[in-house]
Amino acid sequence: MPKPLQENICNEGLFSSLFKKHYQSLYSYLYYKFGEYLNPEDKAQEAFTKLWQNCGKVSPAKAKSYVFTIGNNLMLNEVKHHKVVLQHQKIKPKSHTNESPEFVLQEKQYLEKLECAIANLTESERTAFLMNRVEGKKHKEIAAILDISTKAVEKRIYRALAKLREEIKEL
């Protein structure tokens, strides 16, 4: 059995010739099978991109079947995605709530008061507090970002919480 001249298709000239030879047929195959709606041109290009990324693993003899399989799988994934999107579009959001109008008003007032209280914090306290409570960063991460000690971060967050409790307690 004769050994192939090249083991893989990482040679730019070989890849280019494979692209020119098989691109149009791959595009036509995807277009005829799935239609224009799912953008077969992008999927064909993406299949060749994946071929280039895995050029060391694919032999020239298997390149055509590789790109056709990848292109077909990309289109099937797109079909699945559109099905999920359609399912979610069928679900109608609730147009009513179980909360009383008084509760909704109190909640709105509370959020306004909280935002005002956060705005009244010093910049260092507000920064540390929001990084911890909103972004979910740990004290060590905040200390590294702000270039301060962990104890300083803990102290700033503690002071911020104390001030917020004091201001919000008035509600």
Average per-residue pLDDT for the chain: 87
Q: Residue 49's pLDDT is what?
A: 94
Is the model's pLDDT at 163 over the cut of 50? yes
Q: What are all long-range contacts of 120-128, with beta carbons under 8 Å and residues at least 24 apart?
A: 120/163, 120/167, 121/160, 121/163, 121/164, 124/156, 125/156, 125/157, 125/159, 125/160, 125/163, 126/160, 127/156, 128/153, 128/156, 128/157, 128/160
Q: Which of 34, 71, 32, 33 is nearest to 51 (CA)?
A: 71
pLDDT of residue 6: 61
pLDDT of residue 43 exceeding 90, the answer is yes
Q: How confident is the model at residue 2 (pLDDT cuts 50, 70, 90)?
A: very low
Q: Which range among 45-49, 66-70, 103-107, 145-149 shows the weakest confidence by mean pLDDT?
A: 103-107
Predicted confidence band at 171 (pLDDT cuts at 50, 70, 90)?
Answer: low
Q: Which pLDDT does position 9 carry in this prediction?
A: 84
According to CATH, where is 1.10.10.10 located in the chain?
Answer: 101-169
Contact 86, 35 (CB under 8 A): no
CATH architecture observed for domain 101-169: Orthogonal Bundle (1.10)
pLDDT > 70? residue 4: no
- Quote the pLDDT of residue 77: 92
Q: How many CA atoms, within 13 angstroms, populate the side-chain half-sphere of residue 105?
A: 3
Rounded average pLDDT over 121-141: 90
